[in-house]
Every structure is written in structure tokens, then in C-alpha cells.
Structure 1
């Protein structure tokens, strides 16, 4: 598929897709005319990248972690410093998640009090 179709299917602009390519997060195949061509698995990969970015990870960390996510059981994380960094990011994400869950509960409590339903 071409970049426009990938953009439409993932909800990510073509500009961002080119940025992901520059950052080494996705790797399109180049056709003879120079056009980018993406395989079906790239749809899920772009969605995974978006999710990790939304969680607050940097593209640098995502670039290092992404190849390992599919093989997490094989522990392909190379350096102890990197593992520590990923642990720190995970702890930060868990903190954010806890805050979001508390906010969600507060909103649910408000809706229950105001309208008796969610």
C-alpha cells in the first residue's frame, strides 16, 4: 500500500509517517519510481508506535524497544542501562495510568451523582 492508504488506515498523517521513517521506526519498501510501499504488518506497527508515543515514550526508546516487543520473552534488551531506562519509563507510565484511573473514577462518581448513570 502507498503512504496515503497507510495514513488513512492508521489515522496518522503522511508527514508523521515520513518522520517515523526518518526516526527508524518504520521501513517502507521503495518502488522503482521511488514511491514508498508498505506491507500490511506496518498498519499494526504504526498503531503500536502511536500508542507508545501517547504513553510518553520517546522515539529513541521506541526505536530500541520496538524490535524486542514481539520477542519480549527472549529478553533481547541488550544493555543493563537500557533496561533500567525502560523500567523508569514503565514506572512513569504506571504513575500516569494510576492518575488517569483516579480521574476516570472521579468522573464516574460525578456522573452517578448527577444523572444516576454513566
Structure 2
């Protein structure tokens, strides 16, 4: 496990988590140590890439039959497209909610900056005819 951690830059605790989630399947040596094959480095790279794209480990486990290469590259699977489309929709909804929150916060910041010393921001807005 230490060697795989060194080769991928992923901590051993994270590798254990991937194993617990069914994403890595090491063999065991006679002394009980985990042994990872050469394909494990590519598999960890696939996992990290998919996690960075907003996929969960549960998603990744279901996607693995459609994943090839280190990229990862995908085989066209209807289930995979549905899953990725669903994740994209969720991300878009979160982006829209965050954009609304940022815009509201920006408005509060602007009102606070333009208030006179000791004046409440809502009073400054009313003074300027915006409330």
C-alpha cells in the first residue's frame, strides 16, 4: 500500500477508503499485506479524475465497467450517460444557488460600504431611494 501511495500521491488512508468502497481490489500476500497490481496506479488516477469531476465513490463504482484508460476514457453506456447527466444537472443547480447567494451578499457589501459612519446600511439605501 505504501508503494501505491508513493506512486500515486494518494494517502494510504484514502487508498483504504477506496478499497472499502470496492474501487480497489488488492490481493493479499502470505503475511497479509495488500499487494496492488500494475493496473492499480491507473485505477487510482481514474478514481481521482472522476472525484474531481464531482462524482461520488458510489457513482464511480457503478461507472467502472464503462471506464478505460487513465484519462479516464469511457465506453458509451446508457447508464453512464444518465448518471453523468444527473450529476451535471445537480452541479448546475448548485452553481445557480451559489450565484444567487453571491449576488445577494455582494449587494449587502455594497450597501454597507456606502453607508455613512454609524448609519445602518438599510438607512443608507433608503436615503438613496433604493429601499
Same fold (TM over 0.5): yes
> Taking CA–CA contacts closer than 8 Å with sequence separation of 6 or more, which of the two structures ends up with the larger relative contact order?
1
The 5 A counterparts of 1:70-89 are 70=68, 72-73=75-76, 75=77, 77=79, 83-89=81-87
> Could you tell me which residue of structure 2 aligns to residue 47 of structure 1?
45
Q: TM-score, normalised by structure 2?
A: 0.58
C-alpha RMSD of the superposition: 2.1
The 5 A counterparts of 1:53-64 are 53-64=51-62
Aligned length: 87
Structure number with the higher helix fraction is 1
Q: 1:11 aligns with which of 3, 9, 12?
A: 9
Secondary structure (helix, strand or coil) at the match of 1:34 reads coil
Q: Spell out structure 1 runs of 4+ moving beyond 3 A.
A: 90-93
Structure 1 gaps, min length 5: 96-118
Q: TM-score, normalised by structure 1?
A: 0.64
Secondary structure (helix, strand or coil) at the match of 2:60 reads helix
Structure 2 gaps, min length 5: 69-73, 93-131
Of the two, which has the highest radius of gyration? 2
The offset of 1:84, in angstroms, is 2.7
Answer whether contact 1:68 1:76 (CA < 8 A) is retained. Answer: no
